[in-house]
Structure 1
Amino acid sequence: MTPAERISLWLAEMRASGRAAVLARLTIAVAGGVALLVSALQPWDQLDLIPLIAIPMLVATVVLPDSLAGLIFIVVVALGWFSRAPGEVSWSLVLTGIALLVVHLATAFTAQLPSYALVHRQALRRWLVPGAIALLIGPVVAIAAALIQGADVAGSLLVTVAALVLATATIWFAAGQKVGRD
């Protein structure tokens, strides 16, 4: 198959895409762009390699959400923060974390269905509730981590791990998952 035929096939598939698939891919692109933009606007010097890897991975995630590109994108942006960012929790860090969470959730939703699938509202609702809970818990955990970080509280690691386990369990059960096998 020639490159022109592949592009024509890809464009035909995009025209046949359902509204939910297009909206989810647009969400991936916007949230990934926000994560990259917030990282680039920070006063600390970001590694030059981060955007060179992250931008193609974001494009690949939008086009092929069921590939490893989304994971690589999230890891690269997070490594950019870990390598040069200051250690304190800031609003830009929280915003980047929320954007990466949205990329993760939208990629997980988009990867499970073909681009031409028509999605009923109940399927969207099943993803909306856990996603909203995760987005609300993110800033709460960040604020709690900032308060605990400077307090020198004995057992603060245990408190942080317990909060993350509680948040994970809340999202798990809000998604309608069960503990045992069916």
Structure 2
Amino acid sequence: MTAAERISLWLEQIRASGQAMRIARTVIAIAGAVALVVPALQSWDEMDLVPIVGAPLLLATLVLPDSLAGTGFLLLVGLGWLLRAPREVSWSLAITAMALVVVHLATAFAAQLPSYVRIRPAALRRWWLPTAIALLLVVIGAVAARLVQGAGVPGSLVVVAAAMALVALTIWFAAGQKLGRD
């Protein structure tokens, strides 16, 4: 199968897919663009590698959400920020973090189903609450980090790890997951 035939097949599958899958992929595209653009607009010198490699990874995530491209995109943007950004917590950092959370959750939704599946937008309802909780916790985490920044609190790594575990459990249970086997 040639590349042109693969692209034609993929476009055919997208046309046949339901509205929920198109919404999920649109959300991935918009949030991914925000995650690429916000760090690029900052005054510090971002690595040139981030947008050059990030754009193809985002495109690959749109085409194949169940591949490692999404993970690569998240790691690239996150590491690009960690390596070059100033140490202070800012609103641009919170916006980038929220965009990455949305990319992650929308990709998780799109990856669990074939691209040609026809489902209604009501299937997205199960994802709204965990997404809202995750976004709210990003903002709360940014504000809390800003308040304790430079405070030199002993054991702060343990506190951060415990808070991240609590966030993960909150989102897990909000998504309706269970700990045991069904």
If the TM-score is normalised by the length of the shorter chain, which range does it land in? over 0.9
Between 123-132 and 58-67, report the one with greater CA deviation: 123-132
CA RMSD of aligned residues (A): 1.4
Pair 1:77 & 2:70 matched? no
The alignment of Structure 1 onto Structure 2 pairs a total of residues equal to: 182
* CA displacement at 1:174 relative to structure 2: 0.7
Give CA-to-partner distance per residue, 1:75-96, whole Å, 9 cap, x none.
Answer: 1111110111001110000000
Query: CA shift at 1:63, angstroms?
Result: 0.8
Tell me the SS of whatever aligns to 2:170: helix
Which residue of structure 1 lines up, in the alignment, with residue 39 of structure 2?
A: 39
SS of 1:57 mapped into structure 2: helix
For each residue in 1:43-73, what CA deviation from the matched residue of structure 2 results, as whole angstroms up to 9, or x when unmatched?
A: 1111111111101000000111011100101
- Are the aligned partners of 2:20 and 2:123 in contact in 1 as well (CA < 8 Å)? no
For the 8 Å contact 1:34–1:96, the answer to whether it is kept is: yes
Q: What runs of 5+ residues in structure 2 fail to find an aligned partner?
A: none
1:152 shift after superposition? 2.5
**Counterpart position of 2:133:** 133
Deviates more, 1:53-62 or 1:119-128: 119-128
Superposed CA offset, 1:13-46 (max 9, x none): 1210110111100100000000110010011111
Matched AA of 2:158: L
Residues 35, 143 of structure 1: CA spacing in aligned structure 2 closer, same or farther, 3 A cutoff? same
Q: CA deviation at 1:148?
A: 1.9
Identity of aligned residues (%): 63
Contact 1:148-1:156 at 8 Å conserved across structures: no
Give the structure 2 partner of residue 150 of structure 1.
150
Query: Is 1:88 aligned to 2:104, yes or no?
Result: no
Aligned to 1:6: 6
Q: Shift of the alpha carbon at 1:145?
A: 1.6
Check conservation: 1:14, 1:115, Cα contact below 8 A: yes
Q: 1:114 to 1:150 in 2, by over 3 A?
A: same
Paired AA for residue 151 in structure 2: A
Displacement of 1:7: 2.6
Q: Distance in 2 between matches of 1:12 and 1:121?
A: 20
Shift of 1:114: 1.2
- Kept in 2, the 8 Å contact 1:141–1:163? The answer is no
Mapped to 2, the partners of 1:32 and 1:52 lie a distance apart of 14
Q: Is the 8 A contact 1:89 1:146 kept in 2?
A: yes
Report the counterpart of residue 104 of structure 2 in structure 1: 104
Instruction: Determine the C-alpha separation between the residues in 2 that align with 1:120 and 1:43.
Output: 43
SS in 2 for 1:116: coil
Larger displacement relative to structure 2 (101-110 or 160-169):
160-169
Q: Work out the CA distance in 2 between the residues paired with 1:17 and 1:122.
A: 15
CA distance in structure 2 between the partners assigned to 1:165 and 1:96 by the alignment: 21
